[in-house]
Amino acid sequence: MRTVLQFSIGPIGAAILSLITLPFVAWFFSVEDVGRLTMLQVVLGLTVSLFSLAMHQAYVREYHEEEDKPALLKLSIIPGLILLVLISLLTLVLPFSISTILFGIDSKLLTFLLFVGIFASFFINFLAHVIRMQERGLAFSATKLAPKILLLILISLIMLLNLTAEFKVLMLMNTLSVVFSLFIFAWVTRESWVKAITKSIDTILLTKMLRFSLPLVAGGIAYWGLTTMDRFFLRELSGFEELGVYALAAALAGAVSVLTSIFSSLWHPILYKWAKKSVDENKVQSVIENMVLLVALIWSLAGLFSFIIPFFLPPEYLAIEYLIVACVSMPLFYLLSETTGVGIGVTRLSNYSMLASICALLVNAVLNYLFIPTYGASGAALASVVAFFVFFIIKTEASSRIWCSLPRWKIYITCIAYTLATILMVITKATIVNYYLIWLVLLTSTCFLFFTRLKKSANFLKCYFKKRY
């Protein structure tokens, strides 16, 4: 429990700071600039997914199997770094402006800041996994909090110094916060990466890691596309204004992704420790059922209290009331799939993760193309909800077939019911009278379906706190 709390402080605090920062951005910058900021975040996410070659996942998978951790870190970074440098040099000689393509603004400064952010994000991705695998919860939390505090301070300077609220200023602030974050990660992990520099390259281990990671690259890019494709479709089919509204809803819902960050930081190391000794299926089933209850609770709370959010935002963001519930469902489906799809990691059959991402990506592409011209941001939300449901189903079924077939019909009933309720809310724009009753009924029904697990978990927590206090 202490480890959970230490790992939770940073992500939860960072989410709270983000929720404070986002209204600042919405009030001081135009909707179009919020849309451009989204394109920046999309590109940074792509570079991590593509150029890391998923070697950070291979690092996590082999961490408990290898004695020389610094050498393992070097092997995980080198292939992607070489690729990133080569592609960056190639990009510099291209005859067109990258900033124009991404942001609609021709600016060498924006292009420079973009590349700085890309390289910083690349290294942060690996160093974060070093801290995670060393189970240094407080250090992990510190690295999450510090850059968010800096970003909030920088944005506050707009008011104090009467700076022009334009996208170049917003881009500079974000780049500075990312670079500051890298410095913190580098300092906290200095013992690991300094030793890694002088380590020799074990080609046999490198080949083993690449065999595990490369299938995940396609899956990682497909997952990136799954989570960001709607932004590209909105920009092309609806413009930066619709993109800005949808992006802010997704950013606010991103606070839920904190749970994914915390859970992944704890779950994968624990799971692979279990795998080394032989996994207890009952333990996994208990984790899955507890996760279903948590997902149902968060989803219901989002539906019940979404009407509050527009009060803190400019009038042009009213649609967030119903969009945010759809956006919240996406990280929740991913969070749940991390438990129901455990067999993929245990068996090292990472092709199935790639299959789930690609199938969901195709569903998302088709539905975005069909829905966005008519429904705008609502169409993007509907497409993403359905696509993430497909992603969750495929990972769950794949795990059941290649590893262990755990009971799941109650899980499917719950997820289908919540998905349909969310789709109805988006289509009706939350105008149904007493709509909150639907969320209360769904939460009550889920607790009834998983009553045995709910009772066991409640008794466990009661005994735990009685021993502690």
> How would you write the pLDDT of the chain (469 residues) with one tens digit per residue?
566 666 666 667 776 776 677 677 777 777 777 777 777 877 887 788 788 888 888 888 777 777 788 888 888 889 889 999 998 888 877 777 777 777 777 788 888 888 998 999 889 888 888 887 777 767 777 777 777 777 778 777 776 777 666 788 888 888 888 888 888 888 888 888 888 888 888 888 888 888 888 877 776 677 777 777 887 788 777 766 777 788 788 877 877 777 776 676 667 667 766 766 776 677 888 888 989 999 999 999 999 988 888 887 777 778 888 899 998 998 899 889 988 888 887 777 777 887 888 899 899 999 999 998 888 889 999 999 999 999 999 999 998 888 888 888 999 999 999 999 999 999 998 888 788 899 999 999 999 999 988 888 888 777 766 776 5
Backbone angles phi, psi at 371, to 5 degrees: -90, -40
pTM of the model: 0.70
- On the 0-12 / 13-18 / 19+ scale of CB atoms within 10 A, 383 is buried
User: What are the CA-CA distances from residue 153 to residues 28, 37, 143, 161, 281 (Å)?
Assistant: 14, 18, 16, 12, 47
- What pLDDT was estimated at residue 296? 94
DSSP sequence for 106-153: --HHHHHHHHHHHHHHHHHHHHHHHHHHTT-HHHHHHHHHHHHHHHHH
What CA–CA distance (Å, rounded) separates 457 from 286?
9
- pLDDT at position 442, please? 95
Report the pLDDT value the prediction gives residue 421, as an integer from 0 to 100. Answer: 95
Q: What is the pLDDT of residue 153?
A: 80
Burial class (CB in 10 A: 0-12, 13-18, 19+), 303: buried
Number of DSSP helices (H) and strands (E) in the chain, helices first: 20, 0
d(CA 457, CA 468): 16
